[in-house]
Amino acid sequence: MFTIDKETFKRDYLKKFLELHGRELEEGTDHHKYEALGSLVRDYVAKAWIETNKRYKATGEKQVYYFSMEFLLGRLLGNSLLNLGIRDICKEALFELDIDLDQLENFEQDQGLGNGGLGRLAACFLDSMASLNIPGNGCGIRYKYGFFEQKIINGSQIEAPDYWLREGNVWEIKKPDKSEIVKFGGEVRMEEVNGKLNCTHINYEPVLAVPYDTPIVGYENDVVNNLRLWSAEPVSNEFDFSSFSRGDFLKAIEYKNSVEAISHVLYPDDTFYEGKILRLKQQYFFVSAGIQSIIRNFKDNGGDLSNLDEKIAIHINDTHPTLAIPEIMRILMDEEGMSWEDAWRITTNTVSYTNHTILAEALEKWQADLFKKLLPRIYMIVEEINRRFCQELWNKYIGQWDKISNMSIIGDGFVRMAHLAIVGSHSVNGVAKLHTEILKKQEMKDFYYLYPRKFNNKTNGITHRRWLIKSNPELTKLLNETIGTSWIKHPTDLENFTKFADNTEVREELARIKNNNKKKLAKIIKDAQGIAVDPNSMFDVQVKRIHAYKRQSLNCLRIMDLYNKLVENPNLDIVPRTFIFAGKAAPGYYLAKKTIELINAVADKVNNDKRIKDKIKVVYMENYRVSLAESIIPATDLSEQISTTTKEASGTSNMKFMMNGALTIATLDGANVEIRDEVGDDNIIIFGLTEREVLEYYQRGGYSSWDTCNNDPRLRRVTQDIINGYYSPDKERFKTFYEHLLTYNDEFFVLKDFDSYLNAQAKADELYRDIHKWQRMAAINIAHSGIFSSDRTIQEYATGIWGSGYLYKNL
């Protein structure tokens, strides 16, 4: 294992600083200091990185490639130090150089190449694969601009570009010699040579895919895996590209711009699919580059392509990388001369697919004519996959034309990516029990009947190294002192903490730690927005993407109701609360942006109303991102997981909160169900419609939000307050928001769940008044959070889907 002593580290650091900046430490800025440290850590990692690669080559172990449009890594310095096992030594050594490591870590820009849950999950998985010694590689896009930076100006979201590379990126290494060429457009020429059909792609536009590699350090195990992100560049002038040779300058510039557009920016929509051709280009770009490099590398190492599926597993994170399926087919057939049947067997055995959503509006489908024009050869292959698939259906479902046309991969002029992903892979999984069940019995029912054995559940997880050890050092210390350190390698050992739930001293210590974390967050809030919040109030937190189904609106309405009650009776005996929101809205999502505005309008009014004596405060924190989450989550008392039942596939912040000792108020949606199963009904606050009720309303109707509202004076009042100028002089400002609830019958049952939610909140109040009761519940939540480590999830993927890793080999 990597070790270093303090003195050597200091020497290395000072040397590095001088080399990099050409000046002495005293003359450097904090950013200089951060850069020198990052760069030194990367040097330390480099050796193990190379060794890991050599070892994988020597053992010929099965390699996993996790393909994802998004990797939301956040900051790397602190976690790399932690995983290397040298964070404490570094901290001491730097302290002696008058440098505060924690502060230095704040100078690292988040690597924000993802929208939210799906992207962060990919990042947690990389951490777990490395820590479990699984040969796992990430493959994605090196966007020049990550997820936009959010500013809240006059209560509204304003988007600014996230130019995260401005000050360089010490973690990545560009590998131009490992570039690949990706081909767009053009035509396919078919020729028969010696009785075999040959395909040649001509007149295409070539794009150079250049890889940048980032080391992923495993936890104290000398493993360093690789994340490879591809950047699009024009191919050099030497390439036979006729417009260049004619000296057509403008064409050349146009070409350059269109190429660079491919890896220019991350699309900021997470649940709304938009059929933008550039997005399809992005997908094929990184998928083709990734698959080509995997196969090239495999052959270079003497691999035999006929058993590719025994040596390589390719996982696709949602349907975004589905083109991996026809791309592998293309290479195996057109370039390696394999038969369709062999290529198909190998491809489907290699690829596996995770679904992350059942929202119909998020299902990817591409207009077939655009698809064909952009990717002519790939389209031919998809057509042939579909022809054979429909043949299979015809034989099985004789005369059931509707069913067949519903299941078809190409239909109504569109290529349906989820259908392609299911047909072309050997495993389809959902991300929580309920979600997988809904896929099987509703959304993907026909496919489930056809291929029952492909479907399986893999409940999401989070890396406890970032989300507990790194972000909550005091809680980590308490755990180590009470139950020892075995939980770090075996997170389910956290269960041993159960017996301390009744220990008064431990409960008080838990309360003290929470209070400390809250003080730190209070300072961040004060510094950022000048609002003073009381660390002794309950921190009631909802942080996630803003979406109607996640129901920030429900949270907001009950705050409005509570505010009304306090105005009416300033002496009302309630637990003082600080309501914290954070999250970004997709730039084109009007209702979500209005929700942000409404919350801010409510915050403005509530925070400035002297009558209510600071009993409640509302804070909207700007620019939610991984590093901010690391400050918010350990400081949370109450975790809001209040989506409309059936809509949230899993959720992952719910797991992060419980691991940090927050109690959860939740609907039985997504992984909240598993959390409830783990901690028991007594240690979570559940409310709202059940799955069955929601599905019934959707199928049979029978819900009138208008009636629900009229029958509840509290609701009548708060909904009127949205449009009567109470929160904004402009009565039109929140009209759409109001209409969504009342004119369009409240698609997400906000008003329907209001009463039950308020009762649940009253229960939370009651529990919070008894600090021992509350901390006992917090302790039980922590004790049962181990199963939500992504180490468990990754072990399940490795043994159940990929057939890789140590555990698999020792089965």
Query: Which residue number, 56 or 148, has a Cβ lying nearer to ligand 26Q?
Result: 148
From candidates 81, 94, 104, 118, binder to ligand 26Q by CB under 6 A: 118
For ligand 26Q, which stretch binds (CB under 6 A), given 246-254, 271-279, 394-402, 737-745? 271-279
Q: Measure the CA–CA gap between 381 and 376, rounded to whole angstroms.
A: 9
Site string (648-687) toward ligand 26Q, x via CB under 6 A: xxxxx-----------------x-----------------
Regarding 364 and contact with ligand 26Q (CB under 6 A), the answer is yes
Going through 556-655 in order, the beta strands assigned E by DSSP cover: 577-582, 616-621, 638-641
Query: Which residue number, 514 or 547, has a Cβ lying nearer to ligand 26Q?
Result: 547
Q: How far is the CB of 268 from ligand 26Q (least distance, A)?
A: 8
Site string (509-548) toward ligand 26Q, x via CB under 6 A: ----------------------------------------
CB 94 within 8 A of CB 8: no
Catalytic residue among 120, 419, 514, 550: 550
Q: How far is the CB of 805 from ligand 26Q (least distance, A)?
A: 21
Q: How far is the CB of 621 from ligand 26Q (least distance, A)?
A: 20
Secondary structure class of 586 (helix, strand, coil): coil
CB 647 within 8 A of CB 359: yes
Catalytic residue among 183, 518, 545, 752: 545
Q: How far is the CB of 355 from ligand 26Q (least distance, A)?
A: 9
Q: Which of 354, 355, 358, 374 is closest to 366 using CA atoms?
A: 374
Q: How far is the CB of 176 from ligand 26Q (least distance, A)?
A: 29
Return the bridge partners of 722, or none: none
Locate 223 and state its tokens: 């493993």
Site string (552-591) toward ligand 26Q, x via CB under 6 A: ----------------------------------------
Task: Name which of residues 191 to 250 contact ligand 26Q (CB under 6 A).
Answer: none
Q: How far is the CB of 3 from ligand 26Q (least distance, A)?
A: 36
Q: Which of 330, 399, 410, 404 is closest to 370 using CA atoms?
A: 410
For ligand 26Q, which stretch binds (CB under 6 A), given 111-119, 155-163, 680-688, 746-754? 111-119
Q: Which residues contact 72 (CB under 8 A, 6 or more apart)?
A: 111, 112, 113, 114, 115, 116, 119, 120, 122, 123, 147, 626
Q: How far is the CB of 54 from ligand 26Q (least distance, A)?
A: 34
Regarding 108 and contact with ligand 26Q (CB under 6 A), the answer is no
What is the sign, positive or negative, of the torsion defined by CA atoms of 228, 229, 231, 232? positive
Q: Measure the CA–CA gap between 234 and 221, rounded to whole angstroms.
A: 40
Instruction: Report the C-alpha dihedral over residues 108, 64, 435, 366, rounded to 10 degrees.
Output: 90
Secondary structure class of 668 (helix, strand, coil): coil
Q: How far is the CB of 276 from ligand 26Q (least distance, A)?
A: 7
Q: Which of 225, 218, 227, 656 is closest to 462 using CA atoms?
A: 656
From candidates 18, 20, 173, 362, binder to ligand 26Q by CB under 6 A: 362
Query: Which residue number, 417 or 601, has a Cβ lying nearer to ligand 26Q?
Result: 417
Catalytic residue among 320, 544, 584, 733: 544
615 classed as catalytic? no
Under DSSP, the state recorded for 754 is H
Catalytic residue among 42, 356, 435, 615: 356
DSSP β-ladder status, 205-217 and 180-184: antiparallel
Q: How many residues appear in the chain?
A: 811
Q: Which of 635, 663, 667, 669 is closest to 768 using CA atoms?
A: 663
Query: Which residue number, 227 or 418, has a Cβ lying nearer to ligand 26Q?
Result: 418
Q: Measure the CA–CA gap between 428 and 412, rounded to whole angstroms.
A: 24
- Categorise residue 85: left if φ over 0, alpha if ψ from -120 to 50, beta otherwise: left
Q: Measure the CA–CA gap between 171 and 551, rounded to whole angstroms.
A: 38
Q: How far is the CB of 662 from ligand 26Q (least distance, A)?
A: 17
From candidates 68, 79, 115, 472, binder to ligand 26Q by CB under 6 A: 115
Query: Which residue number, 466 or 776, has a Cβ lying nearer to ligand 26Q?
Result: 466
Residues that contact ligand 26Q, how many (by CB under 6 A): 24
From candidates 10, 55, 57, 279, binder to ligand 26Q by CB under 6 A: 279
Q: How far is the CB of 544 from ligand 26Q (least distance, A)?
A: 9
454 classed as catalytic? no
Query: Which residue number, 193 or 360, has a Cβ lying nearer to ligand 26Q?
Result: 360
Task: Name which of residues 444 to 473 contact ligand 26Q (CB under 6 A).
Answer: 460
Query: Which residue number, 91 or 792, has a Cβ lying nearer to ligand 26Q?
Result: 792
Secondary structure class of 151 (helix, strand, coil): strand
Q: Measure the CA–CA gap between 705 and 708, rounded to whole angstroms.
A: 5
For ligand 26Q, which stretch binds (CB under 6 A), given 114-122, 191-199, 611-619, 770-778? 114-122
Regarding 117 and contact with ligand 26Q (CB under 6 A), the answer is yes
Query: Three-state SS across 111-126?
Result: EEECCCHHHHHHHHHH
- Categorise residue 318: left if φ over 0, alpha if ψ from -120 to 50, beta otherwise: left
Q: Which of 389, 456, 458 is closest to 428 using CA atoms?
A: 456
Q: Measure the CA–CA gap between 329 and 306, rounded to whole angstroms.
A: 13
Query: Which residue number, 133 or 459, has a Cβ lying nearer to ligand 26Q?
Result: 459
Regarding 626 and contact with ligand 26Q (CB under 6 A), the answer is no
Q: How far is the CB of 530 from ligand 26Q (least distance, A)?
A: 32
Q: Let me know if 565 is exposed, middle or buried by CB neighbors in 10 A (0-12, 13-18, 19+).
A: middle
Regarding 273 and contact with ligand 26Q (CB under 6 A), the answer is yes
Secondary structure class of 787 (helix, strand, coil): helix
Radius of gyration of the chain (CA): 27
Q: How far is the CB of 585 from ligand 26Q (least distance, A)?
A: 14
656 classed as catalytic? yes
544 classed as catalytic? yes
Query: Which residue number, 33 or 550, has a Cβ lying nearer to ligand 26Q?
Result: 550
What's CA 658's distance to the chain center, in Å? 18
Query: Which residue number, 173 or 362, has a Cβ lying nearer to ligand 26Q?
Result: 362
From candidates 99, 121, 295, 475, binder to ligand 26Q by CB under 6 A: 121
For ligand 26Q, which stretch binds (CB under 6 A), given 300-308, 355-363, 563-571, 608-616? 355-363
Give residue number: closest CB to ligand 26Q. Answer: 117
End-to-end CA distance of the chain: 26
Q: How far is the CB of 454 from ligand 26Q (least distance, A)?
A: 18
From candidates 415, 431, 616, 787, binder to ligand 26Q by CB under 6 A: 431
Q: Measure the CA–CA gap between 166 and 144, rounded to whole angstroms.
A: 10
CB 119 within 8 A of CB 458: no
Query: Which residue number, 157 or 641, has a Cβ lying nearer to ligand 26Q?
Result: 641
From candidates 164, 230, 267, 563, binder to ligand 26Q by CB under 6 A: 267
Q: Which of 705, 686, 710 is closest to 761 using CA atoms?
A: 686
CB 770 within 8 A of CB 748: no
From candidates 270, 509, 597, 791, binder to ligand 26Q by CB under 6 A: 270
Catalytic residue among 656, 740, 752, 784: 656
Q: Which of 283, 113, 358, 85 is closest to 214 using CA atoms?
A: 113
593 classed as catalytic? no
Locate 780 and state its tokens: 């039980």
DSSP β-ladder status, 577-582 and 538-543: parallel
For ligand 26Q, which stretch binds (CB under 6 A), given 154-162, 213-221, 244-252, 263-271? 263-271
Catalytic residue among 646, 652, 664, 708: 652
- Contacts with ligand 26Q by CB under 6 A lie at 115-118, 121, 267, 269-271, 273-274, 279, 356-357, 362, 364, 431, 460, 648-652, 670
Q: Which residues are catalytic?
A: 356, 544-545, 550, 652, 656
